Amino acid sequence: MNERTVTLNTGAKMPIIGLGTFLSEPQKVYEAVKKALKVGYKHIDCAYYYKNEKEVGKGLQECFKEGIKREDIFITSKLWNAFHRSELVAKGLEKTLEDLQLDYVDLYLIHWPFSQKPGSEKFGENLEEVPILDTWKEMEKLYKSGKAKAIGVSNFNINLLKDFIEKAEIKPAVNQVELHPYLPQQKLVDFCHANNIQVTAYCPLGRASNPKDLDDPIINEIAKKNNMTPAQVALSWNVQRNVIVIPKSVTPSRIEENFQIKELNKEDIDKINSITIRSRGVDHLKHLNLFPDYADL
């Protein structure tokens, strides 16, 4: 199952499992990237905001020297909220490319659907209004320049996407949102798929949620029965609905474990779908009070 890919609206294939890098300390992420590519990952999820792209880049370059080909690896990065002004979008990507030591990224996402003043590093400080479609126009230019082989969004709900799909010249290839058994957001996933937008699950192990998906008795029972770990069950569940997963780990054994997923039978999938506990771990938008329909995000 770990060899599966999804096809983007550009025709490119995106590996269904990638390595997440948020909160991965710089020196650890360097080792994590090397370990991941060694055990077969072909996809790394990065962001300017994570402040470790230089070390991700170092790890990638070392792997390329050892024979892994750049074109076989799928790299995602994200435009930080402080680079939404038209004149800053290309600069945001340039900084990322410089840090990653790459000529292009395979996918570049608008990280959040709101803007912060230039120079803002802390989430949610110094908000400012920049029309998101102006930012998107610049993203389209990056796509046309070849520096971003595909472009997409993150943390968009159905309402925000509807407007995009209507007005954007180039439609978003991907929407990256929080998805795990305690936050399935099936309506959003279905909407994206119906509109040829692939979906990436962040926090696929429920890192920020409370209660924890990985402690759930149903997930644990299914794991035990199938000789899997709870993490593998949570990842397989998303992959089996064609959702890309980007579990983060800096622990070598977990990096390997998260790549060894197995097909669950329909009965197990139905059981996971019958779980009614809901928990959103990343709920900044609620606190910023920016989107009245946040609940749908």
Ligand X SMILES: O=C1CO[C@H](CO)[C@@H](O)[C@@H]1O
Residues engaged in binding ligand X (CB under 6 A): 22, 47, 49, 111, 123, 208, 282, 284
Identified binder of ligand NDP from the candidate list 96, 154, 236, 240, rule CB under 6 A: 154
> Nearest distance from residue 177's CB to ligand X, in Å?
11
Please report whether residue 204 would count as binding ligand NDP according to CB under 6 A: yes
- Of 39 and 146, the one with the shorter C-beta distance to ligand NDP is 39
- Of 91 and 284, the one with the shorter C-beta distance to ligand X is 284
Cα(172)–Cα(241) distance, rounded to whole angstroms?
20
Q: Which residue has the CB atom at the shortest distance from ligand NDP?
A: 20
> Nearest distance from residue 163's CB to ligand X, in Å?
21
Residue 123's binding partner among ligand NDP, ligand X, none (Cβ under 5 to 8 angstroms by kind) is ligand X
CB 135 within 8 A of CB 79: yes
> Nearest distance from residue 49's CB to ligand X, in Å?
6
Query: Within 13 Å, how many C-alpha atoms sit on residue 26's CB side?
Result: 10
Please report whether residue 53 would count as binding ligand NDP according to CB under 6 A: no
Q: Which of 273, 87, 258, 251 is nearest to 180 (CA)?
A: 273
- Of 45 and 268, the one with the shorter C-beta distance to ligand X is 45
Query: What residue has token string 């890309």?
Result: 244
> Nearest distance from residue 17's CB to ligand X, in Å?
18
> Nearest distance from residue 147's CB to ligand NDP, in Å?
20
CB 119 within 8 A of CB 153: no
Three-state helix/strand/coil letters over the chain:
CCCCEEECCCCCEEECECEECCCCCHHHHHHHHHHHHHHCCCEEECCHHHCCHHHHHHHHHHHHHCCCCHHHCEEEEEECHHHCCHHHHHHHHHHHHHHHCCCCECEEEECCCCEECCCCCCCCCCEECCCHHHHHHHHHHHHHHCCECCEEEECCCHHHHHHHHHHCCCCCCEEEEECECCECCHHHHHHHHHCCCEEEEECCCCCCCCCCHHHCHHHHHHHHHCCCCHHHHHHHHHHCCCCEECCECCCHHHHHHHHCCCCCCHHHHHHHHCCCCCCCCCCHHHHHCCCCCHHHC
Give the active site residue among 41, 48, 49, 50: 50
- Of 96 and 240, the one with the shorter C-beta distance to ligand X is 96
* 111 marked as binding residue: yes
Please report whether residue 205 would count as binding ligand NDP according to CB under 6 A: yes
Number of residues engaging ligand NDP in binding (CB under 6 A): 27
Q: Is 294 a catalytic residue?
A: no
- Of 167 and 284, the one with the shorter C-beta distance to ligand X is 284
Q: Which stretch binds ligand NDP (CB under 6 A): 8-16, 59-67, 197-205, 270-278?
A: 197-205
Identified binder of ligand NDP from the candidate list 145, 159, 242, 251, rule CB under 6 A: 251
Q: Residues marked as binding for substrate?
A: 111
Q: Using CB under 6 A as the criterion, which residues of the chain lie in contact with ligand NDP when the complex forms?
A: 20-22, 45, 111, 154-155, 176, 202-207, 214, 229, 231, 246-251, 254, 257-258, 282
Q: Which residues are catalytic?
A: 50
